[in-house]
Structure 1
Amino acid sequence: MQQATFRYDINGLRAYALLLVVFYHFNLPLFHAGFIGVDIFFVISGYFMTKIIFNNSRNHKFNIKVFFSAIFIRIVPPLLFVTLIFYCVSFFILNPGDFQYYCKYIIKSLTFTSNISLLKEADDYFAANSARNLLLHTWSLSVEWQFYLLYPFLFILLNKAIKRPKGLIITLSLLLLSSLLFSVYQSTLNRAYDFYMLTTRAWEMLAGGLVYLFECSRTTQQNRPAVLCKLVGIGLLVVSLIIINEKDPWPGYLASLVVIGSSLIIFSRNNRLRFFNNRLIYTLGLASYSIYLWHWPIHFFANYYLPHPSTLTNILFVGLSILIGYGSYRFIESKSIAWAKRKGQLFSFSFFLCIALIFIGLADQTRKHSGFPWRGGESYLSVINKIKMPSPENGWCFYSIATDHQLSVGLPGVQCKIGDTTHPQVKALLFGDSYAGQYIPFWHKVGEKNAIQIQAVTTNWCNPSTGNDFLGPRTSPAYQQCLFNRHYVLDHISDYNVIILAGSWTKAFANPHAVEGLHELISRIQQKNIPLIIMDEPYQFAENIGDRYKQQLWRHHYFDIRPYTSVKMDNRIKATSQQLDQLSANTVQTLHLRRSDLFSPTHYAVDDIPYSLDGGHISVLGSLAAERYFIAQGGNEKLRHFLKQ
């Protein structure tokens, strides 16, 4: 098959890592921890990068331009091919919103910044809504590429500064330990950051690099218990598959089991074990990159047409992913590398770079034109324009500074006034995060009918509180806006006749600091003798309902919401509502608006269109429908009676 120096064991490990990831994404039984395959990939990458850099540096043959162009030619053509194919497919299949979102991630994937963009969106890799991203899996390529950009310079610098190999090993070990400790720290602070960022992933690749440096040591060459290392390594990976699940902070300290296990397998240099050296595993290992690129888009479209597939169906899609991925390896990945060798590295690099830049330009134009909504016609546009958050772009004023980069931190974020703004008899404050912002259309209509002017002070992840607690990434400008909002509210609290609090209570109640800040806020309100209204969260779904509805509308299919209801999530929201009941009962002059006051139990707003925007929030249309339902349930009389007390 290959020359004697070929590492069948590493190639086999790569094949099994691939299978773990693919089986996990297709929800095959027993592979609930299959995501550890990516961590194995990282260890392997660190090993080979160190081998290339160390050997060429030692022989004075390392050329940084050759290094980067070789990696570019290895990685970009297959990625470019996959993204281009699915651009064409998406043009005919995806609705404008999904197509626009896909084009955004074409740009992010080809510039190797997917992980950063996902962090800014605070997108949990394990959350149901992550399935919306056709290029979600490219986050790992971005992390690897960022490592490739930095590691050669760091390694060469250390290699020159530290002449002794042991000193280099010690220094890299300290860097590994620093990255690992930072990962453990971030796992309790910001799960999305811990998962997606290079600083919390670098230790996994550095572990692979240290394995190679240890291999070069004469001592370890002479005293390597190969079979024992390999068996212990396999054992650690099996244990990881059994004990790890999606709820665990990741990577964190638990990932050390996977990293140590992978490192031991590589360190053993045992090519004879048939488990790692047979024709099937050999082929899967060679084609692993292309199969990895193809499997997630295939999963995406499988989920698009079959939201609840059987295990057998998923197995068939696994086979399809492997088959198409292998074809891509044979005819795209291998051919592009061979073509580059014939044409020369510089020419090939320039050629593929030009193609990538042209395609990025096309994707950017598609993104700027909102995914070409003209493809759906006027009837489609009239509906989807209402299935949005109430932001300035559609005439409302939720201050979504995390997603609208034209907004700035400060006073503009607290200037939203709705309801009766001409001759109000009551001045109210709506304060909270996006789960408060979603109610802006609701309170606008209620305010108009009851002579209430409502000032909405809302931004992303800013739960009602007086403290510094925050439900999103503190790197987002929303954090600074949130602190501004809280100071503003405390400074102007006496200006209002009634205060309305709404938020992502389920997340807030899981955070002790958020609970403490909420109680302090309520105490301040009570001291001023101001009536308080607390609003429930809407019904929560296991999937992005708005996207599911748009997909069915785009395909002219009836949308049945029932398969997406979740008893588990509903019970969690009910438990949160009971906590709000207790909070309201212990607080004077407090009205608790429950889900039953606001939302039809059918979950439909009007004309079979759901309330839900994304499985959590409600849309503009849902918010307006909630107002109509509230009025029909006698909500106006209930509100007026409360305000007269």
Structure 2
Amino acid sequence: MNTVDQRSVLAAAQASGMRKHADVRPASGYRPDIDALRALAVLSVVVFHAFPGILPGGFVGVDIFFVISGYLITSHILRELEVEQFSIGNFYSRRIRRIFPALLIVLVGSYLIGWFNLLPAEFKELGKHVAGGALSVANLVLWKEAGYFDASADHKPLLHLWSLGVEEQFYLFWPLILWAVTRVKRSPMWAISALGILSFVSCVIVVRSDPTTAFYWPITRAWELMVGSLLAYREFSRDQRDVHHAETGVIAGVVLLVASIVLMNSRLTFPGWWALGPTVGAYLVIRGGQQSRLMRRICVRPVLLAGLISYPLYLFHWPLLSFLRMMSTGVPAWYMRAAAVAVAIPAAWVTYRFIELPIRRSRWPSSLAVTLLVLVLGAGFAGYNAFDRNGMEFRMAHLTSQFADGNFDLDHEWRKGACYLESPVETFSPQCVEQGAAPLVFLWGDSRAAAIYPGFRDQRAAFGVRVAEYSASGCPPLLGGTDRCGRINEGALSALKAARPHTLVLTANWTEDRLAGLDRTVSAAREAGVARIVLLGQVATWQSPLPTLYWVYWRAHHQELPARSNYAVDPRATQLDREGEETAKRLGIEYVSAYRAMCDANGCLTRTGSGRGMLMSFDDSHLTPSGAHVVVRALSTQLLH
């Protein structure tokens, strides 16, 4: 998404005699066909984020950007190395002046919006992401927190900086590698091939067991940049611009790109083999774009303008959409999302025209680069300070005091790493089964099971039972498969057979498909001799995290959210409660409704008491420990008898 300096679209049009279609042949190094490719990439990402149903595969625009960046950066470095004019300092100076102006606007703007609108926990996370973005490690920060009870993607205004982190890490190391290779008189092709093959093999292997790592790690993404680097080296070493079968290649590339954007979706195991579609497509378009009649027709001025502003547009659109979602009670209406995009486009153009271009053309490039570096690092320090100071709670003392006693240690309450698993390499601990002679209640499920476990733990003594907890993030209690969840659930089944519990309680973030897949689990439990099987249904869920709704309600009504309310309750929970009951009847097992324990005709519980107290959920669905205590106490005679 980040490129070497380009001329403005107006200058390009003037150079071509103001023809209707821009000349795709390079003038002074300018490649209109690449700007057209950038336009496709950024618009596909923006539409995917704003209206995912329209372009379900729009996320592959980032992969297109990776190929473009690899091609342009490697081309530039190879040209300078050939004439012995390459300078590491000058290279980094150009990159800073290209990347940091728009990045600084996003970091500072997001921090200021968050200061006035986010709760302490949200602002703390935003501060961490501001610091990660400033230090070019946003992808590693997001990878590290993924799987821990993580906020949903649309509640992370700086989530999109992960791709910038991958590129910046490429910019940090790749010039040094190419310089070192040429110093020892080796062909750059050696480095491109070795890194590309190693990265691609790593990606294909890792994505099968840990898609999150494959998505964020630079080593599993580097091959996409190497695809562009390979093309750059081929052009450089052959010293020719004519490409055989250019038109055929471009047409094939466009077909691959359009098919990827339209037909792929977020349910695919991505990246891996699937990422070959957009990367090979981008390779073919760049390879033949200068000679292509098709690209000449595509390169009209509005398309080129979208390409020229693609970088600031990419940076600006997502924070606007994310903050809009965070400050709403549910998914914003389509016209609100369209308005956010409509704001991002002129903002990107203003940034490009009046900030980026003057900085690139400045007569004091080194001084500007140092100034920008200091400012971005300063923004990063401000972000880290917000993280370190727990989200600056003093900003909203009047509000957070209403539920300030809600702090709890999630790792301790859920027994993370022992009985609640997140990492693919973690296994269940023997301590997950409470020892003793009392009847055993075996709790099995995903993170919803971990969330409600404290309630079982608090009530077990009153009913003279023991409790076992076997839970894992994103893994409902469904048997089958060889992936992480399949292996974890096989381990839970083995523990079930060994423990021989009196009661098995199955709970999860239920969906219609997951409920339909319970047959094998129930059959296996019966074969293991379990006398009583209980399906614990869906808890009340909210259209946004409950703490956020508390703040949104306060801002709109100037009073705290009632202890029982229908405000922004997710209506899907009611339907899933009914489907859960029907599933239990079909399977011949008991059904216990967590939803009815929380909700009645007057609404759903939001707090554990009518006055100052802990919220029922710390996000949109997971119970707090005190919320779990309330629900299990209400259902104890059904669950623990």
TM class by shorter chain equals 0.7 to 0.9
Instruction: Specify the alignment match of 2:159 in structure 1.
Output: 136
SS of corresponding position for 2:605: strand
SS of corresponding position for 2:265: coil
Instruction: Specify the alignment match of 2:605 in structure 1.
Output: 605
Instruction: Specify the alignment match of 2:311 in structure 1.
Output: 289
SS of corresponding position for 1:60: coil
Flag the 1:605–1:310 CA change in 2: closer, same or farther, 3 A: closer
Distance across 2 between alignment mates of 1:218 and 1:269: 17
Deviation of 1:210 (Å): 1.4
Is the contact made by 2:57 and 2:265 (CA closer than 8 Å) also made in structure 1?
A: yes
Is the contact made by 1:424 and 1:451 (CA closer than 8 Å) also made in structure 2?
A: no
Deviation of 1:436 (Å): 2.5
SS of corresponding position for 2:199: helix
Is the contact made by 1:463 and 1:508 (CA closer than 8 Å) also made in structure 2?
A: no
Asked if 1:317 is matched to 2:340, the reply is yes
Distance across 2 between alignment mates of 1:392 and 1:535: 25
From 247, 253, 257, give the equivalent of 2:267.
247
Residue correspondence of structure 1 range 610-621 to structure 2 within 5 A: 611-621=616-626
Residue correspondence of structure 1 range 413-562 to structure 2 within 5 A: 414=431, 434-447=447-460, 449-452=462-465, 454=467, 493=499, 502=507, 526=529, 534=534, 536=536, 538-539=538-539, 543-557=543-557
Which residue identity is paired with 1:376?
A: M
Instruction: Specify the alignment match of 1:21 in structure 2.
Output: 45
CA-to-aligned-CA distance 1:224-271 (integer Å, 9 cap, x gap): 333333333223222223322222222332332211221122111427
Instruction: Specify the alignment match of 2:19 in structure 1.
Output: none
Distance across 2 between alignment mates of 1:540 and 1:235: 45
Instruction: Specify the alignment match of 2:169 in structure 1.
Output: 146
Is the contact made by 1:543 and 1:615 (CA closer than 8 Å) also made in structure 2?
A: yes
My pick for the range that moved more, 175-184 or 139-148, is 175-184
Distance across 2 between alignment mates of 1:47 and 1:473: 40
Is the contact made by 1:179 and 1:201 (CA closer than 8 Å) also made in structure 2?
A: yes
Deviation of 1:116 (Å): 2.1
Which residue identity is paired with 1:26?
A: A
Instruction: Specify the alignment match of 1:228 in structure 2.
Output: 248
Alignment RMSD, CA only? Answer: 4.6
Deviation of 1:501 (Å): 6.0
Deviation of 1:49 (Å): 1.6
Is the contact made by 1:13 and 1:285 (CA closer than 8 Å) also made in structure 2?
A: yes
My pick for the range that moved more, 136-145 or 115-124, is 115-124
Flag the 1:164–1:107 CA change in 2: closer, same or farther, 3 A: closer
Which residue identity is paired with 2:346?
A: L
Instruction: Specify the alignment match of 1:364 in structure 2.
Output: 384
Distance across 1 between alignment mates of 2:606 and 2:132: 37
TM-score, with length taken from structure 2: 0.77
SS of corresponding position for 1:604: strand
Instruction: Specify the alignment match of 2:24 in structure 1.
Output: none
Deviation of 1:373 (Å): 2.2
Distance across 2 between alignment mates of 1:64 and 1:502: 56
Instruction: Specify the alignment match of 1:103 in structure 2.
Output: 127
Distance across 1 between alignment mates of 2:595 and 2:300: 61
Instruction: Specify the alignment match of 1:624 in structure 2.
Output: 629
From 89, 98, 117, give the equivalent of 1:93.
117
Distance across 2 between alignment mates of 1:40 and 1:259: 6
Distance across 2 between alignment mates of 1:227 and 1:372: 57
CA-to-aligned-CA distance 1:290-345 (integer Å, 9 cap, x gap): 12111111112333445444444433322210111222223333344445x41x52
Is the contact made by 2:414 and 2:454 (CA closer than 8 Å) also made in structure 1?
A: no
Residue correspondence of structure 1 range 332-347 to structure 2 within 5 A: 332-339=355-362, 341-342=363-364, 344-345=365-366, 347=367
Flag the 1:444–1:539 CA change in 2: closer, same or farther, 3 A: closer
Structure 2 segments unaligned to the other structure (5+ residues): 1-10, 13-26
Which residue identity is paired with 1:228?
A: T
Distance across 1 between alignment mates of 2:268 and 2:481: 25
Residue correspondence of structure 1 range 2-401 to structure 2 within 5 A: 3-27=27-51, 30-122=54-146, 129-159=152-182, 163=186, 168=189, 172-173=192-193, 175-218=195-238, 221-270=241-290, 273-305=295-327, 307-339=330-362, 341-342=363-364, 344-345=365-366, 347-378=367-398, 380-383=400-403, 385-386=405-406, 391=409, 397-400=413-416
Flag the 1:534–1:354 CA change in 2: closer, same or farther, 3 A: farther
Flag the 1:532–1:106 CA change in 2: closer, same or farther, 3 A: farther
Distance across 2 between alignment mates of 1:540 and 1:46: 48
Is the contact made by 2:544 and 2:568 (CA closer than 8 Å) also made in structure 1?
A: no
Flag the 1:152–1:310 CA change in 2: closer, same or farther, 3 A: same
Flag the 1:219–1:71 CA change in 2: closer, same or farther, 3 A: closer
My pick for the range that moved more, 446-455 or 144-153, is 446-455
Which residue identity is paired with 2:199?
A: S
Alignment coverage as a number of residue pairs: 598
Distance across 1 between alignment mates of 2:164 and 2:66: 10
Distance across 2 between alignment mates of 1:506 and 1:26: 24
SS of corresponding position for 2:415: coil
Distance across 2 between alignment mates of 1:629 and 1:258: 53
Is the contact made by 1:471 and 1:508 (CA closer than 8 Å) also made in structure 2?
A: no
Distance across 2 between alignment mates of 1:246 and 1:490: 34
CA-to-aligned-CA distance 1:4-38 (integer Å, 9 cap, x gap): 42111112211221122112211176333222211
Which residue identity is paired with 1:152?
A: P
Distance across 2 between alignment mates of 1:186 and 1:412: 25
My pick for the range that moved more, 129-138 or 452-461, is 452-461
Is the contact made by 1:580 and 1:592 (CA closer than 8 Å) also made in structure 2?
A: yes
Distance across 2 between alignment mates of 1:490 and 1:5: 67
Distance across 2 between alignment mates of 1:314 and 1:487: 45
Is the contact made by 2:209 and 2:483 (CA closer than 8 Å) also made in structure 1?
A: no
Which residue identity is paired with 2:124?
A: Q
Deviation of 1:276 (Å): 4.5
CA-to-aligned-CA distance 1:328-372 (integer Å, 9 cap, x gap): 223333344445x41x52x44443333333332222221122212
Distance across 1 between alignment mates of 2:57 and 2:475: 32
Distance across 1 between alignment mates of 2:121 and 2:539: 23
Distance across 2 between alignment mates of 1:188 and 1:144: 24
Which residue identity is paired with 1:299?
A: L
Is the contact made by 1:605 and 1:611 (CA closer than 8 Å) also made in structure 2?
A: yes
Is the contact made by 2:69 and 2:228 (CA closer than 8 Å) also made in structure 1?
A: yes
Which residue identity is paired with 1:134?
A: P
Is the contact made by 2:540 and 2:595 (CA closer than 8 Å) also made in structure 1?
A: no
Deviation of 1:600 (Å): 2.8
SS of corresponding position for 1:618: coil
Deviation of 1:208 (Å): 1.0
CA-to-aligned-CA distance 1:37-87 (integer Å, 9 cap, x gap): 111111110101211222222223322333233323322232122211221
Distance across 2 between alignment mates of 1:582 and 1:38: 45
Is the contact made by 1:237 and 1:261 (CA closer than 8 Å) also made in structure 2?
A: yes
Is the contact made by 2:569 and 2:604 (CA closer than 8 Å) also made in structure 1?
A: no
CA-to-aligned-CA distance 1:473-517 (integer Å, 9 cap, x gap): 99xxxx9xx99x9799789948x88776655677996999x9999
TM-score, with length taken from structure 1: 0.77
Instruction: Specify the alignment match of 1:588 in structure 2.
Output: none
SS of corresponding position for 2:599: coil
Flag the 1:415–1:473 CA change in 2: closer, same or farther, 3 A: closer
